Structure 1
Amino acid sequence: MVPSPTDEIDHYKVLDLPSGEEGSRLTADQIEKAYKTQSRLRHPDKRPDDPNATADFQLLRASYDVLRDEQSRRAFDATVRARREKEVRDSARDGKRRKLAADLEERERAAERGEPLDADEIEKRREKSVAKELKRELDAFLNRNVRRSEPASAAASASASTSRGENHDSPEEKSNKERILKVSWERSLGEYTATRLREIFQKFGKVDDVVIRTKKSKSKGTALVVMSSRDAVMAATRSMCGDVTNPLLVLPLQTSSDGPDGFSAPFAEANDEPRISKIVGAGFSDYEASILKKLQQANKNKPAQ
């Protein structure tokens, strides 16, 4: 009896051939050659002491009959592809199940510690922890740059001041940071490319660079936009933060409090603090640092006036 293409038998493997996509590309001559080789090796006359020799040889012949017929072979190849696609889907579902199990275990541990069981509260705490760690890494990066550019004694003083919570950005670093905008958006409302973001922000001034975050979130997109001047950053932030219909969340990387021409303290409190957590996420620290490094290198390469 010839097995049907839907049987759980890999006819390529029965003939000792590669299976899957590689098997589907084999020629009829290659299949026939493999069958002749296997039939010589596995013929019952060659295995008189093997009680399964006859059944094995019949299976070999049945698999060959399936693969040498063009129509039945196409049907079998389609079945193999369907099986593999199912395995991929099952693997993805298993991953989701493992995440659900991990979340459940976390809630159970929180309950044992007397913490709230609400999943949203647990996620908020996790995001807060990630944001704190990213801020620590960015501060460490900036402090390392300060120490490299100052004499040893000044670096020691900067380190001591940092431990007391003071901010000692160099004028160049402060200027660079004030030229950078953090931008985020909900993917459900649309997607933004570097080209599209450049078009949007060019109306506020020259755009030096746009970096889309490479480690993408399924729900949120994020980017850094480097403007040519702090005035352009001010114009973009004031305009887009005041537009309630704007789908982009636009925040300066670093606000300035230089008076009426800069971002005043009330403006920063009203726009930056309540919403900044929406744009902070894993990976942001790395490419903030890379953007600052590019700006510093560009400043060094400028010809002397």
Structure 2
Amino acid sequence: MDDLNIEDLDLYELLEIDINSTTTEIKKAYRKKALQCHPDKNPDDPNAAKKFQQLLKVLEVLTDNAARSAYDKILKGKKEAKLRHKELDGKRRKLKEDLEARERQATSGTFKGKSPQQLLKEEIERLRKEGSKQVEEEMQYVLNKLKEEQQRSNEGNWDGSTHRIKIKWHVNKNDSTNGGYTYEMLHTFLSKYGDIHVLVMSPKKSGSALVEFKDRKSAEMAVDFEIGLSSNPLKLQWVDPLSRSTGTSKSSLIKESDFESITLTKMRQAEERKRLIAQMMAEDAEI
């Protein structure tokens, strides 16, 4: 099993579970450990990938009845021998070790039965050839969980101010109705996709507005699906063409000492954002 010597390890201790744990408990323990050890969460650990793969091997043995039975015999035998070893004084211990060594030598290659170690090796080789459906399912579960965590992290890093959406529609010259659109109408059309952080109608240029959503998904859906009035369709575009693909790269590891300062800053930004957008649109209209 690659460079992982199963028979020399306590797999239950590694997963922090009891030897009598059920398969369900083993899987649960594996998931917890795998999520902690995955290379994506440990970029500074050069052995992270190796540890993750080793956990798969451990899961493979403990979720296969035959392999687990062979492993348990070795583990229990070692624990019993260790206990007996402690009970013997130095002299008797040496005699016992010599006797056991002679017995192993005498039976080597002639004993028809298979030792627990041989049985375990055979079971591990079988698993290597056959694969394990349970292991594949658990690995996929862990990967899905990691993907969900990443998605939640991305959502948490969303900053609508860097992903503004420009809205345009046709307006005839001297049209006092602004092409049939009002602030309230635009807000109704857009709010069905999610919470709007700010919506501003251009104060100087008819047929133009800017919107910021509070989360990425809402913004993306609005750009993809909103058409407005069929008689005068809306055209939604990212102000920054790279907004959809890049997202923000802010670290989620914010120091506690910085939290108050960051919170106050964001509050001030929220108050000023509408004014800044209006100013930007006014300048755009003058070009």
TM-score over 0.5 (shorter chain): no
Which protein, 1 or 2, shows the higher relative CO under an 8 Å CA cutoff with sep ≥ 6? 2
TM-score normalised by L of structure 2: 0.30
